[in-house]
Amino acid sequence: MALLCSQISSSYLLGSCLTFILLGFLQSHFVSSAVIWSLKNHHNHHHYHRPMIQANQSSCALFVGTWVRDEAYPIYQYSSCPVIDPQFNCQMYGRPDSDYLKYRWRPLNCELPRFDGLEFLLRMKGKTVMFVGDSLGRNQWESLICMISASAPETETQLVRGDPLSTFKFLDYGVSVSFYRAPYLVDIDVMQGKRILKLEEIENNGNAWRSADVLSFNTGHWWSHTGSLQGWDYMELQGKYYRDLDRLAALEKGLKTWANWVDSNIDSSRTRVFFQAISPTHYNQAEWSAGTTTSTTKNCYGETAPVTGTTYLGAYPEEMTVVNTVVRKMHNPAYLLDITMLSELRKDGHPSIYNGDFSPAQRANPDHSADCSHWCLPGLPDSWNELFYTALFY
């Protein structure tokens, strides 16, 4: 037993032999420190860069362009949409400005078709669209429901909210638009009170996705969370259990598990598969101000207009190198809805303190409380769905 405990403590396996035995995870062999070191340094050789042209597009670079003011926007009003969570409902919870609602995405060498909710319902009649992922996927799911509802206000509908699955049905057309909460895509099991993130297992979640006609996946933000925001206690890899691993390496392993599941279980002739790129955050004003602003805020709070032009000074999310690599190596690659760069320009689109879930104390302290991760509705996710609509039908 002393030798066994020594082996465990020499790696990143469970922190103590007692916990190891308590959880019932005793293994007959252990991962060598060389394997752990390889995982830890797996991404050191990568060079993170901004892709200039989306490979999915041959005639139009949908995801490279500028934001232009358009008085025809927004497509819907918050008061007319039945599903917007308080977290995203900025106008209801006191946001005083509205210019951020008046911007349309214009690709450099084409125009996007105008979103038509009735056309969406007719083309998708009898079918299911499912968004799978974290709260950014929920942001897009609610946006799409609002956009369709604005075009078909008389259509009978039904909303069933649950966890992990919520579904909104347009009953007259037999169309279901669902959200399945799976922030890591791969499975999480609870064993002896501990949350185990299973980097190589996805079947528990995947069973709920098989029957959808259109699947849109996203993941990213939860992989970097630490402390109280971390959604797991241990990671499982190759039958071994770790308190932590290099987060980019873990993301890559989880995405490979997802990609293998899609390749093995989804018939690409029947089901369209999308992957939404990493949604950026705006917590550091230096990323867009270049020292020219007179604002005293530190983050997205108080921002009322997009970054002008086509480039963003801030860092491009390094997770996107992982996403690009995994998606491109799929047997039937998912369509990459590459919203990262165009969203980086929208520093004005976040709830900041106008989040209905915030307390008065949080609203009074934007430097520490502002939500610069999610997006207001109406708002930027509507543009994601215009691109989704274009990729799906045109």
Angle between helices 380-393 and 135-151 (to 10 degrees): 70
Q: Is the model's pLDDT at 57 over the cut of 60?
A: no
CB atoms within 10 A of CB 235: 22
**pTM of the shown model:** 0.86
Mean pLDDT of 98-119: 95
Residue at token pair 């190759």: 238
Q: Is the model's pLDDT at 367 over the cut of 50?
A: yes
For 200-219, the pLDDT digits (tens) are: 999 999 999 999 999 999 99
- In this prediction, residue 47 carries a pLDDT of 42
- In this prediction, residue 121 carries a pLDDT of 98
Q: Is the model's pLDDT at 196 over the cut of 50?
A: yes
For 128-152, the pLDDT digits (tens) are: 999 999 999 999 999 999 999 999 9
Q: Is the model's pLDDT at 221 over the cut of 80?
A: yes
For 229-277, the pLDDT digits (tens) are: 999 999 999 999 999 999 999 999 999 999 999 999 999 999 999 999 9
SS3 123: helix
Q: CA–CA separation, 179 vs 38, rounded Å?
A: 36
- In this prediction, residue 295 carries a pLDDT of 55
Which residue intervals of the chain are DSSP H helices?
A: 2-9, 17-22, 33-40, 117-123, 135-151, 203-206, 247-265, 286-289, 319-328, 340-344, 360-363, 366-369, 380-393
- In this prediction, residue 2 carries a pLDDT of 37
Q: Is residue 378 reached through a cis peptide bond, with omega within 30 degrees of 0 on the bond before it? A: yes
Q: CA–CA separation, 175 vs 166, rounded Å?
A: 14
How many residues can be counted in the chain? Answer: 394
- Please indicate whether residue 181 or residue 14 has the higher confidence score (pLDDT): 181
Look up residue 103 and give its amino acid. Answer: Y
Q: Is the model's pLDDT at 25 over the cut of 70?
A: no
Average pLDDT, the chain: 87
pLDDT band at 176 (very low <50, low <70, confident <90, very high): very high
* Structural tokens at position 17: 């032999």
- In this prediction, residue 296 carries a pLDDT of 60
Q: Which of 9-13, 78-82, 167-171, 291-295 has the lowest mean pLDDT?
A: 9-13
Q: Catalytic positions, please? A: 135, 371, 374
Phi, psi at 247, each rounded to 5°: -70, -35
Mean pLDDT of 117-125: 97
pLDDT band at 314 (very low <50, low <70, confident <90, very high): confident
Q: Reduce the secondary structure of 260-303 to three states and give it as a string.
A: HHHHHHCCCCCCEEEEECCCCCCCCCHHHHCCCCCCCCCCCCCC
- In this prediction, residue 35 carries a pLDDT of 37
Q: Which of 30-44, 125-139, 147-161, 346-360 has the lowest mean pLDDT?
A: 30-44
Mean pLDDT of 173-183: 98
Look up residue 181 and give its amino acid. Answer: R
* Structural tokens at position 338: 């590459």
